[in-house]
Structure 1
Amino acid sequence: MKQNILFKTILILLVLTFFCSCNKQTKDTTPWVSLQNGPTLNGWNIKGGNATYKVENGCIIGTTVRNTPNTFLTSDSIYGDFILELDYKVDSTMNSGIQIRSNSFPFYRDGVVHGYQIEIDPAERAWSAGIYDEQRRGWLVPLTDNPVAQKAFKHNDWNHYRIEAIGDTIKTWINDVPAAYLIDDKTASGFIGLQVHSIKDDEKEGTEIMWKNIKIITENPLKYSKKTTLKPVITKNHLTIDEAKKGWKMLWDGETTKGWRSARQDIFPADSIWKIENGELSVITTGGLESAAGGDIITKDKFGDFELSIDFKLSPGANSGIKYYVDPELNKGPGSSIGLEYQLLDDKLHEDAKLGSHEGSRTVTSLYDLIQADPNKPIHPIGEWNTAYISSKHNHVEHWLNGVKVLEYERGSADFLKLVAESKYAKWPDFGMLEKGNILLQEHGFPVSFKNIKIHAFDNE
């Protein structure tokens, strides 16, 4: 009898030990942090429009309002690398999205919310969990070629998203189905936002979208990253979908010297002056002295009216430039090549920032030696990438930096001609007035890198 009792006791202890051991093994230690604060919206703020948000039964509920732009409930905290999961249920007539790495700056289009958006799309095209660039580049990864993910969306029911943003990689899943895979380094950090889209006059006011179970991993997210079966969409040195539709072309392929040559010779400069590495076209340092052989490079094609976009990165103390309407015949002698110039400069360390025919006209993004750019321009720190944009249409020229216009002028106007006459360019007849010219990247003896070189040439359409 005692032996039976002892046996039963041992058996019970073994069973309890087994269950305890199993519980310990299956316990989730993933460092999830909830982004919901009970019955309140503490930790969030509203940007953009006047749609309403409230908390009810553990859900954040957004409701459409007429005559207001897109509205976003945005996190107070800024996030860089993370894994985000959440559930949502959307009215079948609504379009919405989840903003990640998004921002709102006074200098950028009066504070409009911009950045990556993970689409919520109950419409027939079914692009939910695709990646859109709100108020910037448009569609980056639609679900056109992913029918499995398109079918994963559940109408009038709860859907689950997993969003990974780690380094330059963004991956999404909808209801555990891989949806989008993007490699893009446009923005490294920003807030998270829950969008209530604006509505048209014929759309019903008061429709709702609900979010719940919003949680995030910021502690070593790479450790918890999941593999995806999708092929990545790479934006570096590639056109976006909207750019291709609008007629943009790559001006540099990211790998070779095709389409470019020396400003003074028919061949590309020596490897000791320029290098191509990791999809970047870079000047090799020569101690601040221009190469005696002439290191400036120009496009083999000439352009009239155009839009040009180039990403550039400066080193400390660097001096360089992007020139347009360049005439190679004026580039045979010593010195810099001649053309209108979007100045690239480290304004803090290079003495050129204090020089010029007109005050400030040699600072970064200025029309070199002629017109000073807005001193409040949104320049990123030295060593980080910036985006230069130049538009020239019917002699109206604009310089932009990181999506913000910093100057504009009229080629051939009385004001323009006066500026030229008072500058070092006065000795060249009809300076800056070519109908067509080459695009030039300047070698000035300082390390400078370029990528994503794109052009929209109107005269070629």
Structure 2
Amino acid sequence: MKLVLRWIAMLPLLAGVAQAADEAEWQSLFDGKSLSGWRLVNGAASYEVIDGAIVGTTKAGTPNSFLATERTFDDFILEFEVKQTVGPTNSGVQFRSQSKPDVMAGRVHGPQMDLDPSERQWSGGLYDEAMSGWWYPGTLNPQPGLYKFNEWNQIRIEAIGPSMRTWVNGKLSAHVLDATYQDGFIALQVHSIDKPDEAGRKIHWRNLRIKQHPAASPVGTGIFVRNTIANDLSEVERKQGWQLLWDGTSTSGWRSVKDNAFPTRGWRIKDGELIVTGAGGGDIVTDHTFGAFELQLDFQLTPGANSGILYFVGDYGTDRLLGLEYQLLDDERHDDARLGKDGNRTLASLYDIQPRGRLMTNVGIAPQIGKWQHARIVATADGNIEHWLNGVRVLSFNRNSEDFRARVAASKFKDVENFGGLERGHILLQDHGDEVRFRSIKIRPL
């Protein structure tokens, strides 16, 4: 009994030792008095030390400015406080970033955590500066009011291996897996401004500290994970219930709509891509059917291409399998975009039934032909369905609603009984005679 009591008495001491050891692993990136260890890269915005904080000030007529660490870092946890004053202005913190004379004449590029006090409120989102654009816009995990203008906000960035996570005021904000950047500098951004009256707005950073080569924080499963690694299923995705619907190498799990075998022509597998070549192989469907589900995949359109992702596919008493279709289309070059009604045959629309909303023009969100794009379909048990494109929800409807039935009645499917009403159905990738590439096809039951 005495031994037990002695151990209980020692617990606070052991906890204090562990906490002290943890604190010893942190290194300060800012001495609170000078910009020693930092350098200005790109742009001409001013950076100065005021009351123990680094203060950046917006300036008219200059591109994005960055105050970068002289050191580079690979795996780390970065913590700091940030406050924006005078007026709201976009900002961010670069990490694992680069500035090389032979790449865009030295322009800073690489991962950035967004700091955004505007009405958009995308703080915590992850952006590939000057390269591919938005990996994780704030639309994927909305947190209205979490980031406070004119107040100090606590920020955490964790970059370990390909995993990049951000926290705003203690809340997990974004999670991206991308293997493009292994190491680089950390930089404080003062964004360029559009109007002269936006000059003089200030961003304050303080208490910047870093822990190198740390153990990862516990894996949170509560938010959507954007994984750009082709055909990869991460630990957190597995915990969320995701499974690969295509393994990246074989035809397993898929067959022709015409028979039980995979097409012998018109489809090929190369370098982790499932490619419909346009040579008349026909549509392919999953062996299994699905009820409520969440589906995501990457697709790449060739100029003028037409294809589709069909779901709740089954036998509606017609001469072919039918289902609801997430339209894949080059809107600029294919005539189908101007057919139908009110744009209900454009990219990401519910084909011939309901148009998608207006697309954002942000880099990495606006669709590009010849580049990988991200599609996501969420279908819940109550009939609600969402179409997402590049991290933004562009369409939502309920397939049990009167509005949906009225739209079907005005479509080319008006004579198909109970169209879109199956409780379960296959997933189908369409061969419309054009070359389209697919990868990272994942699904999870809901």
Q: Is the 8 A contact 2:79 2:208 kept in 1?
A: no
Q: Is the 8 A contact 2:39 2:70 kept in 1?
A: no
Q: Is the 8 A contact 2:126 2:174 kept in 1?
A: no
Q: Distance in 2 between matches of 1:401 and 1:370?
A: 18
Question: Which of 400, 416, 421 pairs up with 2:388?
Answer: 400
Q: Distance in 2 between matches of 1:324 and 1:411?
A: 12
Describe the shift of the 1:169–1:274 C-alpha distance in structure 2 as closer, same or farther (beyond 3 A). same
Q: Give the match's secondary structure for 2:413.
A: helix
Partner of 1:208: 206
Partner of 2:269: 276
Question: Unpaired segments of 5 or more residues in structure 1?
Answer: 1-32, 45-53, 64-74, 118-125, 142-167, 175-190, 196-205, 213-232
Question: Which of 32, 35, 38 pairs up with 2:40?
Answer: 35
Give the superposition deviation at 1:452. Answer: 0.9
Q: Distance in 2 between matches of 1:327 and 1:91?
A: 49
Work out the number of aligned pairs and report it.
Answer: 307
Highest Rg: 1 or 2? Answer: 1
Give the superposition deviation at 1:421. Answer: 1.1
TM superposition score normalised by structure 2: 0.59
Q: Give the match's secondary structure for 2:400.
A: coil
Partner of 1:156: none
Give the superposition deviation at 1:207. Answer: 9.2
Q: Is the 8 A contact 2:299 2:437 kept in 1?
A: yes
Q: Is the 8 A contact 1:259 1:300 kept in 2?
A: yes
2:408 corresponds to 1:371: no
Q: Give the match's secondary structure for 1:456.
A: strand
Q: Give the match's secondary structure for 1:309.
A: strand
Describe the shift of the 1:208–1:379 C-alpha distance in structure 2 as closer, same or farther (beyond 3 A). closer
2:283 corresponds to 1:296: yes
Q: Give the match's secondary structure for 1:275.
A: strand
Q: Distance in 1 between matches of 2:188 and 2:282?
A: 46
Partner of 2:25: none
Describe the shift of the 1:332–1:133 C-alpha distance in structure 2 as closer, same or farther (beyond 3 A). farther
2:111 corresponds to 1:101: yes
1:381-406 residue CA offsets vs partner (Å, 9 max, x unmatched): 21111101110112000101011111
Q: Distance in 2 between matches of 1:36 and 1:279?
A: 38
Q: Distance in 2 between matches of 1:255 and 1:109?
A: 44
TM superposition score normalised by structure 1: 0.57
Partner of 1:448: 436
Q: Distance in 2 between matches of 1:323 and 1:374?
A: 19
Q: Give the match's secondary structure for 1:313.
A: strand
Partner of 1:342: 326
Q: Distance in 2 between matches of 1:342 and 1:350?
A: 16
Q: Is the 8 A contact 1:86 1:211 kept in 2?
A: no
Q: Give the match's secondary structure for 1:35.
A: strand
Partner of 2:234: 240
2:420 corresponds to 1:410: no
Question: Unpaired segments of 5 or more residues in structure 2?
Answer: 1-37, 57-61, 83-92, 96-109, 129-156, 167-171, 191-203, 211-226
Q: Distance in 1 between matches of 2:262 and 2:126?
A: 37
Partner of 2:372: 385
Q: Give the match's secondary structure for 2:420.
A: coil
Q: Is the 8 A contact 1:369 1:423 kept in 2?
A: yes
Describe the shift of the 1:210–1:452 C-alpha distance in structure 2 as closer, same or farther (beyond 3 A). same
Q: Give the match's secondary structure for 1:427.
A: coil
What one-letter code is carried by the residue in structure 2 that aligns with 1:363? T
2:356 corresponds to 1:324: no
Describe the shift of the 1:321–1:139 C-alpha distance in structure 2 as closer, same or farther (beyond 3 A). closer
Give the superposition deviation at 1:171. Answer: 1.2
Query: Sequence identity of aligned pairs in percent?
Result: 36
Describe the shift of the 1:428–1:308 C-alpha distance in structure 2 as closer, same or farther (beyond 3 A). same
Give the superposition deviation at 1:244. Answer: 2.0
Give the superposition deviation at 1:172. Answer: 2.8
What one-letter code is carried by the residue in structure 1 that aligns with 2:177? L
2:164 corresponds to 1:132: yes
Partner of 2:105: none
Q: Distance in 2 between matches of 1:92 and 1:312?
A: 34
Partner of 1:353: 337
Q: Is the 8 A contact 2:313 2:428 kept in 1?
A: yes
Give the superposition deviation at 1:137. Answer: 5.8
Describe the shift of the 1:332–1:87 C-alpha distance in structure 2 as closer, same or farther (beyond 3 A). same
Q: Distance in 2 between matches of 1:346 and 1:256?
A: 28
Q: Is the 8 A contact 1:91 1:207 kept in 2?
A: no
Describe the shift of the 1:353–1:88 C-alpha distance in structure 2 as closer, same or farther (beyond 3 A). closer
Q: Is the 8 A contact 1:91 1:208 kept in 2?
A: no
Alignment of 1:155-170 (within 5 A): 169-170=180-181
Q: Distance in 2 between matches of 1:92 and 1:403?
A: 25
Describe the shift of the 1:242–1:98 C-alpha distance in structure 2 as closer, same or farther (beyond 3 A). farther
Once superposed, what is the RMSD of the aligned Cα atoms?
4.3
Partner of 1:264: 258
Q: Distance in 1 between matches of 2:177 and 2:258?
A: 39
Describe the shift of the 1:111–1:380 C-alpha distance in structure 2 as closer, same or farther (beyond 3 A). farther
Q: Distance in 1 between matches of 2:119 and 2:425?
A: 31
Q: Distance in 1 between matches of 2:77 and 2:337?
A: 55
